[in-house]
A and B are shown apart, each in its own frame.
Chain A
């Protein structure tokens, strides 16, 4: 209680003081009365009473100490003084707060992204209890449905278990597709996770039995977008890939599925797959697509649980051995094991791709913050020198050095807090902008960026560290003052270290860090530029891609090739289309198909060595894409869908499998689970083209005619070379509708598809360029400030030199030469730092080494030029000095 009273007394300030004055005044008056009663005259009595009372100010202070919390009162006083102090130098304060806002804000933004993507647990009940099942290593985390069913039946191991598989549904009933991200879930999922329904009900175990009619649960966001609000969604019908399904409920708005960075809009029970993919799909033993997540029995420890899993594994695998595997493969399969990984933070395909990029960005913004702190430290040091008199007075009056330092540090903390407040606002904007950037990738990204405890704690820690970093040294330096010297009339007195090593050291540090950042951003920019300008083996501009899904329109296996070729014929007839070709897969689509090739005369070193990437294509495909034919001929229209097995291979395949020999006329087989395929005769060789990523090394590829691959795929993508995409798109829609209005279409361009595949390098290049520029600017400003200050201090010296005959050129040379040492020192240190640091970028760079000499040389040149320019301004000022003026100082 007394503590609280002492705290509130801090803020009662003046009233407390007045009360104390009155109390003490009474004591003196009473004493004076007593003396007067003994005959002393009034005036003398009062004087004597006051004298006996002692030193009132000290007494007041000591009494007051009992009444207030001393440290809090000092803090409040320091803050008030700090605010006045900042107000006295508004420009400096503003510049400082802005730099801090940028520095702290950028750090907070990147950390909040890191937190949202990597650290934040799922918004479900007790996420720390959840475990993701694996088959030994963390990467082997996808199961088949038969395996899931065997695992699910081992109820004694789990308090709850469920399976989850992502997919995509087309909501349209023909015409342009409306894709929605979705998830296949087992009946127990929502219960195990403790998800609540915002409307209606969620999927229950009874909904997930074989032969079910299928129901749908939608996310809150989807319900709002489609139906207006959650309540209205229940009972409505959705068309998923052409199949009607009723919505029975809406999930809680917080729940977004299990994939961090994505949202699942529609949840459908596993059993409904039979409606979409035919009976038997649930028993397929080679379709790996389910994640299995469990809540272990709480009474089991981790080690116990793992042991039981491993013990259960043989039975589970033995019961699900795929019959079409070879004897060897079957043995390997049956020896599979089960493991578990913590799953509190869910799963994410984004994590693996973006975690390294985020770490790099964290390092970059950290460096920017350090550079900003060095700048501010220099600014404050210069200001500290200007406040010498004020500090000297305080020291002379008896303030302890530590007390004054504390007050200066409080000012720094105040600056940092104001900067942090602005920075948090900047960060919330910036992190949303980065997520927007990420959404330029193959699919849109959604992250929960709300401030949580971790992010706030991070910001607070960064703020305090920043304040200490830029405040401590100047505060210490400023109080190292000889009061006598400082108070002399001349005023220029003691300036601490005549060569102000601290200031110069800081500038060298800034230049060094800046150079490292500029070099890093140069590397990332160069890498991105190379990606954008490389030749992918086809012409990406002017290529319209139209994906037509015939399956939703009801076409079955035998009809597919016919309708695909008919569609191709119609599309070629559209005016404005100079060439067109169809294929199963398109480059950089994120999808791929590979097989093991059996080539007579070629013995592979291992399984990987006989890997060949495949595509089904139509005649005219290569012409449409602009991929050059090197030997032989293109595929013919008459070969589509027939048993005349032919193939066109790329240069790498020709070199790899048929080294030296002309492959035309030779043949190869595909090695598959159901036995080897019929032989494909090679009829042509084409230029190498990129398949999955722009930065991949060329891979052996084989192109077979439509319909000659092992699977009947209901969709095909038509590539149309045209200069007027909008008009052609409309014509294609009309054409497809006239063929069959239920065909669904997805339209994009090859350029945008390629651009989406390099979203990560683009992000890194853009942000690092931005921060590199900021760092350069900060370093230049810092250099300017220091040289400027140095010139001011050396006015006397320059005046003397000029009086003794030095010309303007010599003075210029003097100042710039001084700066040159700093810049050179910074560049050398920076180059070493960069050399060590850019190694961490290696995995993000394409076709450029982390120690690329051209980039380093260019960065050094830029830094030197910028630094010299920064030094020239004060140098010219120095050269224009009037020696008489300067000497009068």
Chain B
């Protein structure tokens, strides 16, 4: 699916990007990383995170697997797939277009 440029699309973009760069992570780590990377500007609600993770898993962009953390707890790790990488590229393009469009309106409107 080409990039949607929606809030849902934006969330997917962030998650895919994190997973692409940092490798397989569990849900908690993803929220922590997004918070840190954005210097606390962005914070994902758990209520949106898990539905999004499961949805993307069903769509085939990420793949979930049970694994053990450093503290030897059982957690579900998600890794990006090839299809996910393609979707990431599409979402990045969509986001860039959106940002550019908003910037132009703000400048010229």
- CB closest residue in chain B, given A29: B73
Contact with B along A52-89 (1 / 0, CB 8 A): 11110011001111110000000000000000000000
Indicate if A22 sits at the interface (CB-CB under 8 A).
yes
B51:A66 contact, CB within 8 angstroms? yes
B-chain residues with CB within 8 Å of residue A30 when the two chains form the complex: 26, 28, 69, 73, 75
Indicate if A606 sits at the interface (CB-CB under 8 A).
no
Complex: how many Å from CA A6 to CA B59? 11
B-chain residues with CB within 8 Å of residue A22 when the two chains form the complex: 74, 76
B55:A66 contact, CB within 8 angstroms? yes
The answer to whether residues A26 and B58 also contact, given A62-B51, A66-B51 and a CB cut-off of 8 A, is no
B-chain residues with CB within 8 Å of residue A24 when the two chains form the complex: 50
Complex: how many Å from CA A62 to CA B55? 10
Contact of A2 among B47, B58, B73, B76 (CB under 8 A): B58
B75:A2 contact, CB within 8 angstroms? no
* Closest CB in chain A relative to B51 CB, distance in Å: 5
* Closest CB in chain B relative to A734 CB, distance in Å: 89
A26:B54 contact, CB within 8 angstroms? no
Indicate if B71 sits at the interface (CB-CB under 8 A).
yes
Contact with A along B61-98 (1 / 0, CB 8 A): 00000000101011110000000000000000000000
Q: Which residues of B in the span 19-66 have a Cβ within 8 Å of any Cβ on A?
A: 26-28, 32, 45-47, 50-51, 54-55, 58-60
- CB closest residue in chain A, given B64: A23
Indicate if A605 sits at the interface (CB-CB under 8 A).
no
* Closest CB in chain A relative to B72 CB, distance in Å: 12
B-chain residues with CB within 8 Å of residue A23 when the two chains form the complex: 27, 50, 75-76
Indicate if A5 sits at the interface (CB-CB under 8 A).
yes
B-chain residues with CB within 8 Å of residue A54 when the two chains form the complex: 45-47
A5:B58 contact, CB within 8 angstroms? yes
A65:B74 contact, CB within 8 angstroms? no
Complex: how many Å from CA A5 to CA B75? 22
- CB closest residue in chain A, given B45: A54
Q: Which residues of A in the span 10-59 have a Cβ within 8 Å of any Cβ on B?
A: 19, 22-24, 26-27, 29-31, 33-34, 52-55, 58-59
- CB closest residue in chain B, given A1: B60
B50:A26 contact, CB within 8 angstroms? no
- CB closest residue in chain B, given A23: B76
* Closest CB in chain A relative to B108 CB, distance in Å: 40
Complex: how many Å from CA A521 to CA B109? 84
A-chain residues with CB within 8 Å of residue B58 when the two chains form the complex: 2, 5-6, 66-67
B75:A26 contact, CB within 8 angstroms? yes
- CB closest residue in chain B, given A62: B51
Complex: how many Å from CA A31 to CA B73? 13
B-chain residues with CB within 8 Å of residue A1 when the two chains form the complex: 60
The answer to whether residues A33 and B71 also contact, given A2-B60, A5-B58, A26-B28 and a CB cut-off of 8 A, is yes
A62:B47 contact, CB within 8 angstroms? yes
Complex: how many Å from CA A64 to CA B50? 9
Complex: how many Å from CA A66 to CA B28? 19
Contact of B59 among A2, A31, A53 (CB under 8 A): A2
- CB closest residue in chain B, given A33: B71
* Closest CB in chain B relative to A167 CB, distance in Å: 70
Contact of A26 among B47, B55, B76 (CB under 8 A): B76
Q: Taking each of B28, B45, B59, which has the highest tally of chain A beta carbons within 10 Å of its own beta carbon?
A: B28
* Closest CB in chain B relative to A645 CB, distance in Å: 98
Complex: how many Å from CA A66 to CA B60? 12
B-chain residues with CB within 8 Å of residue A27 when the two chains form the complex: 26-28, 46
- CB closest residue in chain B, given A59: B47
Complex: how many Å from CA A52 to CA B69? 22
B51:A26 contact, CB within 8 angstroms? no
Complex: how many Å from CA A64 to CA B54? 8
Complex: how many Å from CA A2 to CA B59? 6
- CB closest residue in chain B, given A22: B74
* Closest CB in chain B relative to A31 CB, distance in Å: 7
* Closest CB in chain A relative to B45 CB, distance in Å: 7
Q: Taking each of A27, A54, A58, which has the highest tally of chain B beta carbons within 10 Å of its own beta carbon?
A: A27
* Closest CB in chain B relative to A9 CB, distance in Å: 9
* Closest CB in chain B relative to A1 CB, distance in Å: 7
A-chain residues with CB within 8 Å of residue B73 when the two chains form the complex: 26, 29-30
- CB closest residue in chain A, given B32: A34
A-chain residues with CB within 8 Å of residue B46 when the two chains form the complex: 27, 52-54, 59
Complex: how many Å from CA A433 to CA B78? 66
Complex: how many Å from CA A855 to CA B55? 70
Complex: how many Å from CA A22 to CA B58? 19
* Closest CB in chain B relative to A130 CB, distance in Å: 53
Complex: how many Å from CA A60 to CA B39? 29
- CB closest residue in chain A, given B27: A27
Complex: how many Å from CA A33 to CA B73? 12
* Closest CB in chain B relative to A711 CB, distance in Å: 85
Complex: how many Å from CA A22 to CA B66? 10
A-chain residues with CB within 8 Å of residue B47 when the two chains form the complex: 54-55, 58-59, 62
A-chain residues with CB within 8 Å of residue B27 when the two chains form the complex: 23, 26-27
A63:B60 contact, CB within 8 angstroms? no
B-chain residues with CB within 8 Å of residue A5 when the two chains form the complex: 58
Complex: how many Å from CA A23 to CA B28? 10
* Closest CB in chain B relative to A34 CB, distance in Å: 8
Complex: how many Å from CA A65 to CA B73? 26
Complex: how many Å from CA A62 to CA B76? 18
B-chain residues with CB within 8 Å of residue A26 when the two chains form the complex: 26-28, 69, 73-76
Contact of B28 among A19, A31, A63, A65 (CB under 8 A): A31
Contact of A66 among B45, B54, B71 (CB under 8 A): B54
The answer to whether residues A63 and B51 also contact, given A23-B27, A27-B28 and a CB cut-off of 8 A, is yes
Contact of A67 among B28, B54, B71, B75 (CB under 8 A): B54
A-chain residues with CB within 8 Å of residue B26 when the two chains form the complex: 26-27, 30
A-chain residues with CB within 8 Å of residue B60 when the two chains form the complex: 1-2
Q: Taking each of A54, A59, A64, which has the highest tally of chain B beta carbons within 10 Å of its own beta carbon?
A: A59
Complex: how many Å from CA A67 to CA B26? 18
- CB closest residue in chain A, given B26: A26
- CB closest residue in chain A, given B56: A66
Complex: how many Å from CA A6 to CA B55? 11
Q: Taking each of A19, A24, A54, A66, which has the highest tally of chain B beta carbons within 10 Å of its own beta carbon?
A: A66
* Closest CB in chain A relative to B79 CB, distance in Å: 15
* Closest CB in chain A relative to B86 CB, distance in Å: 16
B50:A59 contact, CB within 8 angstroms? yes
Contact with B along A747-761 (1 / 0, CB 8 A): 000000000000000
Complex: how many Å from CA A22 to CA B64? 14
B-chain residues with CB within 8 Å of residue A52 when the two chains form the complex: 46
The answer to whether residues A65 and B76 also contact, given A2-B58, A27-B46, A54-B46 and a CB cut-off of 8 A, is no
Complex: how many Å from CA A52 to CA B32? 14
Complex: how many Å from CA A316 to CA B45? 90
Complex: how many Å from CA A89 to CA B91? 56
The answer to whether residues A65 and B75 also contact, given A2-B60, A59-B46 and a CB cut-off of 8 A, is no
* Closest CB in chain B relative to A37 CB, distance in Å: 11
Q: Taking each of A19, A23, A31, A67, which has the highest tally of chain B beta carbons within 10 Å of its own beta carbon?
A: A23
* Closest CB in chain A relative to B71 CB, distance in Å: 7
* Closest CB in chain A relative to B58 CB, distance in Å: 4
* Closest CB in chain A relative to B19 CB, distance in Å: 16
* Closest CB in chain B relative to A326 CB, distance in Å: 86
The 6 A-B pairs with the shortest beta carbon distances in the complex, nearest first, are A66-B54, A30-B28, A66-B55, A26-B75, A2-B58, A63-B50
Interface pairs (20), CB distance under 8 Å: A5-B58, A6-B58, A23-B50, A27-B27, A27-B28, A27-B46, A30-B26, A30-B28, A30-B69, A31-B28, A52-B46, A54-B46, A54-B47, A55-B47, A59-B46, A59-B47, A62-B47, A62-B50, A63-B50, A65-B51
Given A6-B58, A59-B46, A62-B50, list of 14 further CB < 8 A pairs? Answer: A2-B60, A23-B27, A24-B50, A26-B74, A27-B46, A30-B73, A33-B71, A53-B46, A54-B45, A54-B46, A55-B47, A59-B50, A63-B54, A66-B54
- On A, residues with C-beta under 8 Å from B are 1-2, 5-6, 19, 22-24, 26-27, 29-31, 33-34, 52-55, 58-59, 62-67
- On B, residues with C-beta under 8 Å from A are 26-28, 32, 45-47, 50-51, 54-55, 58-60, 69, 71, 73-76
